[in-house]
Amino acid sequence: MKVTHEQVERSQVAISIEAERNEVEESLDKAYRRLAKKVSVPGFRKGKTPRNILEQHLGQDTLFEEALEQLIPDLYRQAIESEKIDVIAQPKIEIVQKEPLAFKATVPVRPTIKLGNYQQVKIEPESEEIANFKIDSEMVDEVLTQIQQQQTSWSPVDHPVQLGNAVTFNIKVVVEDKILLDRKDMTYEINESTPFPLPGFAEAMAGMQKNEEKSFSISVPEDYDSKEMAGKDCLFDVFVAEIKEKNLPAIDNELALNTGHDSMDALKQKIAADLQARAEKKKEDDLQQKVVAAVTDSAEVDYPEVMEERELDWLLKEDARRMGYSDVNGFLALIKKTEGEYKEALRPAAQQRVKQALILEKVAEEEKIAVEDSDIENKISGLLENNSDRENMEKFFAMDSVKESLKDSLLMQKTVKYLVQMAYDHNQVSLQENETCEEKKGE
């Protein structure tokens, strides 16, 4: 076997392999023996058909293809071992010629990362507005209003449909004699700001009585998302089965008690504390993002396309899962996009995620940041605390793959915190140096 290799774009290596004649012949003989045991040839028992007769019966190409199925993987494995190539995914194989047998294997290899001057990243001082941010009564009142809405109850009424009512109805939607929707017992809150199913629908429903049936038409805008409806007249047949009115609870001690608090003052204090904690968390997240972005922008990364594709697959599955779909096809059907279209929209985010992960991994390696077994166990203990399905979750976290995933996540978190602290320390040194310079100028 003759082997040469060269580095190509996107962290790939192209390996050129040429087989020796005896290697091909040996593989052909093995292929003949395998096929002879499986193929029936008139006049011969299985396994006893001479090779020349079997070749005539099946054709030389069939025997050759059978031989390649084992020969190419064997030669490829030998090549990457002899050339010491660190591959991270399956190769793309291209047969260059059959006589003598030569093929090319293009393989993704580990990324190359060249870190910039990440140790000199500075943190810009907070603006006074951010530094002095405090939770005020208006913010607390806004959350109280949200809680009030969540505690809303609904009661049946006899009056006609009004904006703000919840209506249970049967509906049929027809466009150009094609039924697009035919549903019974749908519940819909009548609000002007709600565009479902079309702008103007809520206004058409207003004034209808319980048990009333009504037909009306709405002209659909040309730029409407649905191609089946855009620029056309949409005919609605609606039957109102029930009308309910919203009952907002008062914002008082009873509301506080219903949410598990002793008094309205206690509820407000809890809301203020939660808002403050959320604001502090956002400040911390924003700071981390700025530092990571600065470190990322100063680095150079070359990674194979397969890493980007894996990230795209993960992001698509996560988006589908958040919408309640275990199968991405159902999610794609809902949003009316192909897998390719959706992935293209995700690609910039995938590229950034891959790049940042590789850079943080490299920083961790350079700075000798590590995750101990105790870190993983502490994290698992925290996740299991007060978990209602503790037994099954313990089995889940006992899996090696899950622990490895937690380890990777914790390593990224520790590395980001390390970079933020380094940037903060560097910024403090710079401030002290500036102050010293100003003092010397004053002298």
Strand partners, 15: 5, 105
Q: Domain extents for the chain? A: 2-110, 153-247, 264-433
pTM listed for this prediction: 0.71
| CA of residue 208 relative to chain centroid, distance | 44
The chain-wide mean pLDDT, for the chain, equals: 89
The residue among 97, 89, 91 whose CA lies nearest residue 5 is 91
163/402 Cα distance (integer angstroms): 50
Overall average pLDDT of the 276-284 stretch: 90
Query: What's the CA gap between 443 and 430, in Å, rounded?
Result: 20
Asked if 86 and 12 count as a contact pair (C-beta separation under 8 A), the reply is: no
DSSP-assigned letters across all residues of 10-77: TTEEEEEEE--HHHHHHHHHHHHHHHHHH---TTS-TT---HHHHHHHH-HHHHHHHHHHHHHHHHHH
Q: What is the mean pLDDT of residues 10-28?
A: 92
Residues 6+ apart with CB under 8 A from 80: 15, 87, 107
- Given the candidates 1.10.3120.10, 3.90.550.10, 2.60.40.10, 3.40.630.30, the CATH classification of the domain at 264-433 is 1.10.3120.10
pLDDT range class, residue 387, cuts 50, 70, 90: confident
Quote the tokens at residue 236. 């609605």
Residue 415: closest CA among 346, 367, 380: 367
Q: Mean per-residue pLDDT for 373-377?
A: 92
pLDDT digits (tens, 9 = 90+) for 391-437: 888 899 899 999 999 999 999 999 999 999 988 887 665 545 555 55
Average pLDDT over residues 321-336: 89
- pLDDT of 3 above 90: yes
* 46 or 402, greater pLDDT: 402
Q: Using one digit for the tens of pLDDT, what is the confidence trace for 201-225?
A: 888 899 999 999 999 999 988 888 7
CA distance 3 to 405: 37
* Structure letter (DSSP) for residue 161: P
| Closest alpha carbon to 208 in 176, 249, 248, 165 | 165
If pLDDT is split at 50, 70 and 90, which confidence band does 443 have? low
Give yes or no for a contact between 181 and 234, defined as CB atoms under 8 angstroms apart.
no
Q: Which two tokens stand for residue 405?
A: 């995933």
Q: CATH class for domain 153-247? A: alpha beta
> How confident is the model over 232-248, as a mean pLDDT?
94
Residue 123 to residue 426: CA distance in whole angstroms: 8
Predicted local confidence at residue 216, as pLDDT = 94
51-55, 240-244, 368-372: least confident range: 51-55
Lowest mean pLDDT, pick from 179-193, 304-318, 411-425:
179-193
pLDDT tier at 29 (50, 70, 90 boundaries)?
confident
For residue 32, name the pLDDT band (cuts at 50, 70, 90).
Answer: confident
Position 223 scores a pLDDT of 82
pLDDT at 441 over 60: no
**What is the predicted pLDDT for the residue at 433?**
52
User: 169: which residues sit within 8 A by CB, 6+ positions away?
Assistant: 185, 186, 188, 205, 238, 239, 240, 241
Architecture of domain 2-110: 2-Layer Sandwich (3.30)
**373: phi then psi, degrees, rounded to nearest 5:** -60, -35
Q: Output 335 or 436, whichever has higher pLDDT.
A: 335
pLDDT at 434: 54
Q: How far apart are CA 439 and CA 210, in angstroms?
A: 82
Classified as helix, coil or strand, 299 is coil
Average pLDDT over residues 30-35: 86
pLDDT at 368 over 90: yes
Question: 267 burial class (0-12, 13-18, 19+ CB within 10 angstroms)?
Answer: buried
When pLDDT is cut at 50, 70 and 90, the band that residue 440 belongs to is low
Rounded to 5 degrees, what are φ and ψ at 235? -95, 125
Q: pLDDT at position 53, please? A: 86
Q: What is the pLDDT of residues 66-122, one digit of tens each?
A: 889 999 999 999 999 999 999 999 999 999 998 899 999 999 999 999 999 998 888
Least confident among 195-204, 251-260, 351-360: 195-204
